[in-house]
Structure 1
Amino acid sequence: MKKQIFLSIAIAGVLVLSACNNSTAPEAGSNEILVETSVGNVTEAEFLERLQEKHGEQVLTEIVQAKIIEAKAKEMGITDEEIDAELERMKADFENDEQFLMTIQMQLGVNSIEEFRENFVPAQIVFTRLQTAGVEISEEEIREYYEENLEEFSEVEARHILVEDEETANDIIAKINAGEDFAELAKEHSIDTGSGAKGGDLGYFSKGMMVAPFEEAAFSLDIGEISEPVESQFGFHIIEVTGQQEFSYEDVKDRIQNRLAQQQAKTTQEIEKELFGEANIKVHDSRYKTLFDR
């Protein structure tokens, strides 16, 4: 399960904007006393001046970023339906809403999924669209990729029994050849307790998902064939392939197109540069005159 949500650094500024819009703090620069002590008071003006000195550039950049992204989302006409669909896509990698909320609270400091939906999801859609805007992948490119990477689009279904030494593996193979049930032997002998409890079943997998020696053996077997002992860093495997399937060009065409488009996608930094350039930013405070010179 994935426990990280990809979010552009720029998107974090949306929440800053929300916080600024909802602020009920005293007017900036006022002499209202925030903290009173016997050795001197701290005024609103003093507090804000210190904040500006230490974090002014960062906060100002984030607010400008947020305004730019918010305007772009409106320009694109992003609908509530699109926002809901993107939110569901993000949540799909998590077991439940509670786990999702815990993750976004830790990463982004939001208080609720609704807050995340309003302040972050539209920005994610903006960046996703802009990454591949103008990228065109031809039918010829897609088919060429498919034909050059056929192995990537095949899967095998297998079960295995994992033991610690080769002698034990050979003994079990002899029992299988003598007619004993593979699944029962896996439950009894396999030190891979997860699959062992299921009779050694590993389900379907494609290349790149298993350790190299196991994968090489599994993809070389015919359905129903039992392997010789296969050594990996985990021990010795006895493998039986129980199924094979290949995906047709039509099955994977969209997947390939998306992959090729991502290879040509703009980086977050490139998108930010374009958005800032379109915004015609003019800084009126001399302290930040060069802040947006990119």
Structure 2
Amino acid sequence: MKFLKSGRTYLWTSVIAVIAAAGFFFATADSSAETIAEVGGTKITKDELYDSLVETYGADTAASLIADKIVEKEAAKEKVKVTDEEIQEELDATIESYGGEEAYTAALESGGMTEEDMKKDIKIYLQTVKLLEPRIEITDEEISTYFDENKETFATSEQVEASHILVGDEEKVNEVAAKLAAGGDFAELAKEYSTDTTSGKNGGELGFFGTGEMAAEFETAAFAMEVGETSDPVKTDYGYHIIKVTDKQEAKEANLKDSTAEIKEALMQEKLSTEYTTWLEEKQEEYDIYNSFE
């Protein structure tokens, strides 16, 4: 298991290629003589593919499966419970970290994984966290040092929260603007008209953004607007936008008190990675383990 952090989201991954390969070569073992390719009359069989996959991925796959089994056994022994709600919360955060359902689904497909595979990984990850957290201590001194060393990352620039409807031509944007002026619902019109499909299916929501993150014309318009205001059409290289500002946040200097929770989370994640290696080595000594790759 590998612990990675993206925003507030913890991403746990066994190497996806290893998982996909493992599933494939075990699934094909019964038809090993079947030809899967041919080069100049020379056949390549599933048996050859299996041998190649085992040689390339076998040791890593076996180590990953052994580690997961140890986690499951220890979780049962320590009566560690992971609820469906906890799994769903992490799954939702993971989808968000990928930039939405589309990108997340594409990532799963490219790795040969299903959502059920992901949920199993999430459960093992959460079991591991619950097993390791009691072994980890984070001191006030560590928090203060981390803040001093990373102070610039905790400062917040001015932010705007906005939604938009993006269309390709002036005629279409004027049509949308007319419907809004007549009392049309912004979110519903975004779903119907916006060519930005990622935000469009969420009613045009873009979330918060700071300077330098959007096209210059879009950014200038959004930062000049008041909360609740809807813009006239704004042209960028992407097309024509109608922007609705839904919230604003003022710039804020870094503050230790306000940053403590985030720092604890970051330190916890760092220590989990280190502690996991130590804990797993200890547990491997306690179990009778057979691994043909060793």
TM-score, normalised relative to structure 2? 0.49
Structure of larger gyration radius: 1
TM-score, normalised relative to structure 1? 0.49
